[in-house]
Each structure stands twice: as structure tokens, then as C-alpha cells.
A and B are shown apart, each in its own frame.
Chain A
């Protein structure tokens, strides 16, 4: 409280703009996550990743999770991660922990392999070499477990469980972060429209004598968004949510001329869509306005016809990403290998 005798103290601000910018940039630094790296993201942003199936949306989330849980530095070796906790809401119930550990192991091996920590003069086959390799592997496991401890996961089978989980998220996250000593930075949701059809069709049930709020899909989403906002006020996070495209793009109801062609397993062109109008229909918005207002950034993913081929990974399909909000008219290409996502220039 500024002194009553010193009216000038009222006019002086709390800090200068320069100081504030410096503070915010350190507290809320920009994050560049491939393939979302075109736009620097900060905590407090809510990014919606939309795309038909398959378009590598879950892989993007896993990539972000790995980036977050890797340490900045471990026993002298620099990994470049954020060393923070991640909360993963699995609404699709399709998360595979082995994939997460596979990506982590690859990243760790990459970094360990590139830093030439064998030193010079150590020959292969010698005892010293074997010792170093053995220590590297135990080091791997320890590091892997340390990273995995920073990954918090919960699976929800319907919207009510999701809301319940959101309500208990704060206390649980607090206990975990106190135990580990790090804060949370990312909140990943896979995928947000998982219960769309169920909630849309569910009738409001009169529950006994209580004046129960009618839980339509609109209301459920409003509650979800409200809970998340409450949490974000206390603990700012970067929210990444994947959203499936549920509308089929193509003339399914009109009378299609059935020209018979043989189907071969190599013939995968048919799974793609290419037309602009078809794309608009494909990415049609079905989430209610509460969620749409909550989202600050949107990116569309799609799988393309082309494939990339290299020795390490074999033939892999190429995916395309395009920022829609804010609209950047650039399409990036990336592929998903064993070690995660890598960009294709």
C-alpha cells in the first residue's frame, strides 16, 4: 500500500515494461515443438490439433510429451528438454506406453551417441569400452524411469469421468509435483471429441427429486472448459488437444457409379482426400462454442499420398500440417519414424 503521505507513489507502476517482458519471457518462454514449430507457443495457449484418421495426431502429442519430460541436463549431458511434468488425459483409450518409451529411448540414445563421451583412445572390444557401454545402458534405464515419473496419465471412459478427473487434477498434480520437485507444464488431451456422439444423444435424466442440471453436450463441454480454466488460472499450462474429424468427406449418399476395380494392398490413394471443398467439409466444426472460444490456436493435419524412403526408417507415409488459426498459408511435411516425428524439408 503506497504511503498516504506520498501521493506520487500511486503513479509509479509496479515494474517497467522492460522488466515485465523479461520476467514473462523467462517464466513463460516460447516453446518450439516440431511439427508445431512454425508458431512459437507459450503456456496459456490452447492448441487444437485436428485431422482425419490416420493423421499422426497422437504422435504429435507424444512428441510434445517427450520434449517436456526430458531433462535439461543429466549428468553433464545436455538433452534440451523442459524437465517438467505432463498430464495426459486419454479419452480415446488408445495410449500405448511402449510407444512413449520407444520414443524416449531413441531420443536418449541419439543424444548419448552424438556426444562423444567415449573419449579418445578407447578401443572397441576392450574392457574399458564394455564398461562404458554397460554404464551407458544402466544410465539409460535410470534416465528413462526418471522421465517416466514425470508423465501423469489418466484414462476416462465417459464425459462424467473426465469432469471428475478434472476436478481432482489439482490436488493430485500438487502432490506429485511436490514429490518430484518440478511443476507441470503441458496438458495433453487425446482426443477431445471422443464422446461426442454419446453425449449428443444422451437424454437429460431427471435424477430423483433433485433439480438436476440438464447435462446436454453443450453443458458438459461448458463444465469441462470451466474446470480447465479454473486450473489454468492457478497453474498456467500449455494445452494440446487432438480432435478427430468425424465427418466423411466424399459423396457417400449420392449414387456413385460403381466401376469395379481390384483392390490391392498397395493401392492406398483411395484413403486420401484432395479437393478443397471436401477438405472444408472434413474439418467441419462439431464442438460447441464453449470449446471453440477456449481454443487459441488450431492446426490441421492430413496424410498425403507421398512416401519418404530412407535406409534408417524404410518407407514411411508423409503427413502435412497447416496452421489454420492464425492462418499461415504454409504446409509443412513430416514423417513419423521410430524415434518420433522428423520434419521433411
Chain B
């Protein structure tokens, strides 16, 4: 990080330290913070209103449960205009598995827009500019997509993201699908893997804090034998477990 670009939220920096904030100021800020809805009410309730900005959330589940769907939904939901209660921001989607499908994203965007138009029809009359923005194609154009084929590309992309985020000030969510895919197989040096992963998690957390955006990491699950029974836990458990603020596992009933 450059010397001059300390944290953006330096308002209320205490005399003690440049860039420090009192908890009181943070509390008032947090209360004004908007959440990104996942589209599912129960999930929103568990998350406390939706995905929080300035935090890293990890979502795990068995293959096929809908993690990618959730990821795409979030990249669409973040673009809900501010007038309709959303963040009106852009999204970054980092795809390591190749599971992002444009057609599906188009469908989800259409569904979201029609929901918006239905629910908030009366408000939109006051803002005639909205209908142009509320086109599926404009939604798609606000999702920045990165395709990654190896772990070195992943590290490089995350390092490059900082510059990208400086230029694109509107990005409000980063979705990584999935964060540990390239690190699970064929990684010989475990110590190196630990170092790389912890460095990556630090970087992502710093983006979340510095640019006030949400980071959502999609992860695979494994089973773990704990106290006589099998539990589902997120992959790379021990090394990765302390990296995130919130961790969710999706299970099918």
C-alpha cells in the first residue's frame, strides 16, 4: 500500500493515531451500512440482513447445491439502484472453476429487474432515468469477470485488483468462485500453500475494509471426523479457518 493512501475513512481519526477510529464512530457508521440481499429471506435473516460490506463472508456447500447461483445472484443484487434500497454498485467476479454462465446471469438479471419494477413501481415514476439503467445488458456490463486457470493467476489477479479498485470506484462486491480450487490438488509444499493463502486472505480483508465492499468467497466442503461422527466442514479448514469474518455452510435437507 502506498504511504499516502491510508484508509479512506479517516474522518474521526483520533489524536492517538492516524487512521484510528473510536468504536463509537464505527457504531454509527455500521448502523448506516446497507446490506446486499441474497434474494432468499431466510438466508438474509441468518446473515443479519444480507451480506455486509467491509466483511469477508465465506459460503460453502457440496457441489451442485447452488453456490455459483448465489454468487451470480449477489453480483446482480448489488446493482439494485440506491433508490430501490440497494447499493447501486458494480461487481467483480473471479471464476476459478469456469462455472459462470452468461445466459444464467442474464436470466437472473431479468428476474431481478422485473421484481424491482413490480415492487417499486410507484417510486420509479419519479425517476425517469431508471428504466434505461434497468436493462439486463447494463447489469451484465457492470459485472467485471476474471477467469483464472492456475494458482499463480489467482495470486496475480488479487494483487492486480488493488489497482483495479482504485480506478473503478463503484465496485461494491467481489465474488471468488471458488477460493480454494487451485490449492487443493497437486500442491506439494504445504508450508508454501499456507503462506500464500494467508497472504491472500489478508489482501482480501484489506480490500473489504479499505474500499468498503463485500467479499464473498465460495468454497467446497469436505467431511471431517469429529467426536465420533462426520461433520461437513469447509475445505482447507485449519489453514483457512481464521481468515474470514463469516462462514456459512449450505446443506441440502
Chain B nearest CB, measured from A7 CB (Å): 77
Q: Does B190 contact A (CB under 8 A)?
A: yes
Q: Does B225 contact A (CB under 8 A)?
A: yes
Given A255-B190, A260-B225, 7 new contacts (CB under 8 A) = A252-B191, A253-B191, A255-B188, A260-B224, A260-B226, A262-B226, A262-B227
Chain A nearest CB, measured from B226 CB (Å): 7
Interface residues of B (CB under 8 A from A): 188, 190-191, 224-227
Provide 9 A-B residue pairs closer than 8 Å at the C-beta atoms, listed in order of the A residue: A252-B191, A253-B191, A255-B188, A255-B190, A260-B224, A260-B225, A260-B226, A262-B226, A262-B227
Residues of chain A in range 213-269 having any CB-CB distance to chain B below 8 Å: 252-253, 255, 260, 262
Q: Give the nearest-CB partner of B237 in chain A.
A: A260
Name the A residues within 8 Å of B224 (CB-CB). Answer: 260
Name the B residues within 8 Å of A262 (CB-CB). Answer: 226-227
Interface residues of A (CB under 8 A from B): 252-253, 255, 260, 262
Query: Complex Cα distance A255/B224, Å?
Result: 19
Chain B nearest CB, measured from A279 CB (Å): 23
Name the B residues within 8 Å of A252 (CB-CB). Answer: 191
Query: Complex Cα distance A260/B226, Å?
Result: 7
8 tightest A-B CB contacts, nearest first = A260-B225, A260-B224, A262-B227, A253-B191, A255-B190, A262-B226, A260-B226, A252-B191
Looking at chain A's contact residues, is the secondary structure mostly helix, strand, loop, or mixed?
A: loop
Name the A residues within 8 Å of B225 (CB-CB). Answer: 260
Name the B residues within 8 Å of A260 (CB-CB). Answer: 224-226
Query: Complex Cα distance A187/B190, Å?
Result: 44
Q: Give the nearest-CB partner of B224 in chain A.
A: A260
Query: Complex Cα distance A242/B227, Å?
Result: 42
Name the A residues within 8 Å of B227 (CB-CB). Answer: 262
Chain A nearest CB, measured from B235 CB (Å): 13
Name the A residues within 8 Å of B188 (CB-CB). Answer: 255
Query: Complex Cα distance A255/B187, Å?
Result: 11
Q: Give the nearest-CB partner of B188 in chain A.
A: A255
Q: Give the nearest-CB partner of A255 in chain B.
A: B190
Name the A residues within 8 Å of B190 (CB-CB). Answer: 255
The winner among A252, A253, A260 for most chain B CB atoms within 10 A is A260
Q: Give the nearest-CB partner of B190 in chain A.
A: A255
Chain B nearest CB, measured from A88 CB (Å): 34
Chain B nearest CB, measured from A125 CB (Å): 56
Chain B nearest CB, measured from A187 CB (Å): 40
Query: Complex Cα distance A260/B238, Å?
Result: 11
Q: Give the nearest-CB partner of B238 in chain A.
A: A258
Q: Give the nearest-CB partner of B227 in chain A.
A: A262
Name the A residues within 8 Å of B191 (CB-CB). Answer: 252-253
Chain B nearest CB, measured from A277 CB (Å): 21
Query: Complex Cα distance A253/B188, Å?
Result: 10
Q: Give the nearest-CB partner of B225 in chain A.
A: A260
Chain B nearest CB, measured from A213 CB (Å): 34
Chain A nearest CB, measured from B193 CB (Å): 11
Query: Complex Cα distance A253/B224, Å?
Result: 23
Query: Complex Cα distance A255/B192, Å?
Result: 12
Q: Give the nearest-CB partner of B189 in chain A.
A: A253
Chain B nearest CB, measured from A251 CB (Å): 11
Query: Complex Cα distance A252/B190, Å?
Result: 10
Chain A nearest CB, measured from B80 CB (Å): 43
Query: Complex Cα distance A112/B225, Å?
Result: 58
Query: Complex Cα distance A255/B226, Å?
Result: 22
Query: Complex Cα distance A146/B245, Å?
Result: 55
Query: Complex Cα distance A260/B230, Å?
Result: 11
Query: Complex Cα distance A253/B227, Å?
Result: 28
Chain A nearest CB, measured from B180 CB (Å): 16
Chain B nearest CB, measured from A283 CB (Å): 23
